[in-house]
Structure 1
Amino acid sequence: MADIKVPELAESITEGTIAEWLKNVGDQVTKGEDVVELETDKVNVQISAEDEGVLQEIKRQEGDTVEVGEIIAVLGSGSGAAANTDNDSAATEQGSQKQDDSGSAADESPQPAASESNDDSGRTVASPAARKMAREQGIDLSAVQSKDPLGRVRPEDVKAHSEQPKQSSSQTASGSQSQKQPAEQSDSKPVERVKMSRRRQTIANRLVAAQHNAAMLTTFNEVDMTNIMELRKRRKDTFLEKHDVKLGFMSFFTKAVVGALKAFPNLNAEIQGDELLLKKYYDIGIAVSAKEGLVVPVVRDADKRDFAGIEKEIGDLGTKARDNKLTLKELQGGSFTITNGGVFGSLWSTPILNAPQVGILGMHTIKTRPVAIDNERMENRPMMYIALSYDHRIVDGSEAVSFLAKVKELVEDPETLLLEG
């Protein structure tokens, strides 16, 4: 017998939510094999078995909140394959006996008995894929009709259930009835109630806390992107050929932010009690939109990387974020954050601080607009609005405005930025 426990995750993470069991009761588990996926405030992590054996008991179900060190499953000795064969044979024999007794035709869909559709704990037996689909759609697995002779709920059963007409209030489960609001009872308009993921709840709480705990203010400027776009056009092919990565805008803005942080170090700080912690390193967080919400992986030592190194790191972190493969280490720390709402078409916004940081730069979409070159000339130029949100408790307005002006100056002179870093 061996226990499967929630391991130590990170200093700031003490609990998580079981997202999906990757093994079922009776399955053979080898040492080091992933058994369960755990959703934390920052990333999803897979918990692997430290021993080998048969998954004998699952103590906590999908959706349950568990703490570090808690026992969530038990491994026993024996052969999982043999156990499954015995169970399947017994269930098949029981199903055949019921069909013989009732005289049901072979082409009728059998109705699973309670012993077939539920395990010993009363939990509906379902494939991991079916559980994930049901969880995402807010469907109670116990209400899903299975077409499997053994009562195992599969993804196609969940899909069929989701396509059925909504039941009346008298037919819904008592848990659903208790959640109904008076507005839903008196109004026949369709609604859908979806539980927020753990990460979405954390994001919501952190954003609200940032606005409550900091004296947040935003200042704006605009950048003429003519020079940087011309430079990229001239150098993009040779850059790609040499470094095997495209030359994008993010590396220019990352380098410009590092230069501005060196000139105005209070933007690269945080408040700890009654002290100001000035950071002498430049770990720049890059906000990335992922399925479960915004995450901010960190480009470490951005001041020591060249443009190709920054572009490669941002590309790798972005891919990991979208594939839900970021590690906790890649999300921790960071001294300043850049967020680019322009990729979604945002023209203007006020980004919210990524606490405990005291500054965040917002980039926006590039729009061609008429710009006054001097008193007599007007030209159409590719322009971008940029925004700096900052903590006014330690950053004065003049300092914030000067910081943003420095970013503008460096971005509009990309040749010097590229050559001198």
Structure 2
Amino acid sequence: MGVEIQVPQLAESVVEATVGTWYKKEGDRVERDEEVVELATDKVSLPVYAPAAGILQKIVHPEGDTVKPGDVLAILVEAEAAAVSSAPQAAKPAAENAPVKTAVAEKTEVHPPIATPLAEKVAEEQGIDLSSLRGKGSGPNGKITIEDVRQFAHTSSSAPSSTEKEVQKPAASTASGTLPPVLSSLTASFGRREEREPLSRLRLTLIRNLQESERNAVRLTTFNEADMSAVIEIRKRRRDAFKERYGVNLGFMSFFTKAVVGALKAFPYLNAEIQGNEVVKKYYYDIGIAVGSERGLTVPVIRDADRKSFAEIEAEIADLAARAREGRLKLEELMGGTFTITNGGVYGSLLSTPILNGNQVGILGMHKIQERPVVVNGEIVIRPMMYLALSYDHRLIDGSDAVRFLVRVKELIEDPETLLLEG
């Protein structure tokens, strides 16, 4: 009787996954709790472990298949059963044992390089042998990523890839159908370069979630600006001592996390959620921090931010951001935030209108710090200023509360000593 290796329960709101890399092939020996396959969800990569020791008899879903919780990924013959079934073969003629020898020989073959499913697909489309990238992957555990493939394609040859050649065919397809003959001819004549690649599961899910957010909320955005002089002065004065004592840098995110917590305590409906005909007010503060990466946008959550020190918040943000970029976040680290902060300023954004995250009713947008002339006590002075944006769900949050919430964040940032009391 075989043992089923099943797709585990993923997480709330995660209903399917893509089979990524199989680390074992049919006929391989597997130890109990050994990682046998990786699943790619819309949020993270998820390892699947063998429930027992034995031989991998059959792979039901190969790489690239879409699966759901409970689906059978593979059949495993437990070690005892495998030993019993193979025992009678010892008395059979040598000719009958040939297939067994072949199977053993196959196990000694070199495994193909480990790469993400999307990297493998792009490599196949461009005719790239992934063995050329063995040991050069930039992903976790040396895994080859799509960026590694693109870089290799760019540096190794100037010849047009199979993807580019496809564009030059007369019947070049577009998102809306097929190009008319005249446009197709122009594309080929002038060598106008196009490249196609499938949207990742993460990107497709982001599209779905953002569209859902816009459909289910009445989003408005209010703006203000904060003088960052006091925070910058504290960071400059305490930076070295903070790093020496705690081993992390004192950044802006800990100040804004604390300021947001203080403002949420003053305006609790910004930390609430609409569920049917009820509003759920939450008196815990799980703050999502938006992190951009090669895979797309993820929002890991800092649990109980009100109970954590500046150093604890900075260390956790650094850890979550690093693992988000490497695709090593756990599903539970992405679930259940009550409010989100996003910092477009790290990319140079001066002003934006952030989109609400999931069922949350508020999100704070930080932006680039820019020196500007402002009037202070009747005099024009130059100050480092940051535009702040609060997007909110107008179904629950009135404009007056939204404006006052953002003013409170501004006050706490401009007088950061109060964060020790308010945050």
After TM superposition, the score normalised by the length of structure 2 is: 0.80
Aligned pair partner of 1:278 in 278, 281, 286: 281
- Partner residue in 2 for 1:269: 272
1:245-264 maps to which residues of 2 (within 5 A)? 245-264=248-267
- 1:31 corresponds to which letter in structure 2? R
Distance 1:63 1:403 in 2: 46
2:364 and 2:300 map into 1 onto residues whose CA distance is 15
Are the counterparts in 2 of residues 21 and 128 from structure 1 also a CA contact under 8 Å?
A: no
Q: CA deviation at 1:15?
A: 1.8
Kept after mapping to 1: 8 A contact 2:3/2:76: yes
The aligned runs of 1:191-340 (5 Å cut-off) are 191-340=194-343
RMSD: 3.4
- 1:137 corresponds, among 107, 111, 122, to 122
Compared with structure 1, are the counterparts of its residues 397 and 136 closer, same or farther at alpha carbon in structure 2 (3 Å cutoff)? farther
Percentage of matched positions with identical amino acids? 53
Query: What is the DSSP-based 3-state SS (H/G/I as helix, E as strand, rest coil) of the residue aligned with 2:114?
Result: helix
Aligned to 1:403: 405
Query: What amino acid is the match of 1:204?
Result: I
CA distance in structure 2 between the aligned counterparts of 1:382 and 1:249, rounded to whole angstroms? 13
2:20, 2:107 → 1: CA distance?
28
Distance 1:363 1:169 in 2: 42
C-alpha deviation, 1:63, in angstroms: 1.6
User: Are 1:183 and 2:186 matched, yes or no?
Assistant: no
C-alpha displacement of 1:134: 4.7
Contact in 2 for aligned 1:20/1:128 (Cα 8 Å): no
2:6 corresponding residue in structure 1: 5
Pairwise CA distance, 1:145 = 8.9
CA contact (8 A) 2:262 2:422 kept: no
State which drifts further: 400-409 or 243-252: 243-252
For structure 2, the residue ranges without an aligned partner over 5 or more in a row are: 87-97, 135-148
- Cα 1:371–1:145 change in 2 (3 A) is closer
Equivalent residue number for residue 91 of structure 2: none
1:58 touches 1:72 (CA, 8 Å); kept in 2? yes
1:145-182 CA distances to partner (integer Å, 9 max, x unpaired)? 97xxxxxx74569978995644566999xxx9899941
- Measured in 2, the distance between the counterparts of 1:145 and 1:380 equals 54
Alpha-carbon distance in 2 for matches of 1:418, 1:2: 56
Judged with a 3 Å threshold, the aligned counterparts in structure 2 of structure 1 residues 419 and 248 are, in CA distance, closer, same or farther, namely farther
Question: 1:89: how far off?
Answer: 5.3
Aligned residue number for residue 419 of structure 2: 417
Listed as ranges, the gaps of 5+ residues in structure 1 are 93-115, 117-124, 147-152
Change (3 A) 1:70 1:222: same
SS class of match (2:179): helix
**Counterpart of 2:371?**
368
**Deviation readout 1:238-280 (Å, 9 max, x if unpaired):** 2222222221111110111011011111101111011111111
- Equivalent-residue separation in structure 2 for 1:215 and 1:282 (angstroms): 23
2:393 aligned residue: 391
User: Which amino acid is 1:208 matched to?
Assistant: Q
**What residue number does 2:102 align with?**
86
State the shift of 1:368 in Å.
0.8
Kept in 1: contact 2:167–2:193 (CA 8 A)? no
How many residues were matched structurally?
377
Length-normalised TM-score, structure 1: 0.80
